[in-house]
Amino acid sequence: MPTHYSAPMCITPRQARDLMGANPSAVILDVRTRKEYQTGYIPRAVCIPESSLRSQSRRALPNKSALILVYCKGGSRSASACKMLVSLGYTNVYDFGGINSWPYDIVSG
């Protein structure tokens, strides 16, 4: 997989899980609302709601070349958030869709 590109790349949940395992410092970004996040989330995920991403990204995601794996509930917000991150200069952004299609471990809320 490429490490630098100008558009977000869509990957499968399995590819995301493999990247998480191979990159312990990867940012796993949940762009759902805090209320949704509290119902259950992928281990190590940080919650920055899509609606707050533009204003919080500089502080919360200071390394624009960090590996960022993005998900939401069904895939729409993660796609939008990935496009936004790329437009803000992030270079290693992957969209793996929604937690609804995540077949692996979830931390219960």
| pLDDT number for residue 1 | 45
For the entire predicted model, the pTM comes to 0.92
CA gap 35, 16 in Å, rounded: 24
Domains, the chain, in order of start with CATH, read 9-108 (3.40.250.10)
| pLDDT number for residue 104 | 97
Q: Are 64 and 91 in contact (CB under 8 A)?
A: yes
Report mean pLDDT in 10-residue bins for the chain, 109 residues. 60 97 97 97 98 96 97 96 96 96 93
Q: What angle do CA 38, 33, 67 make, to 5 degrees?
A: 90
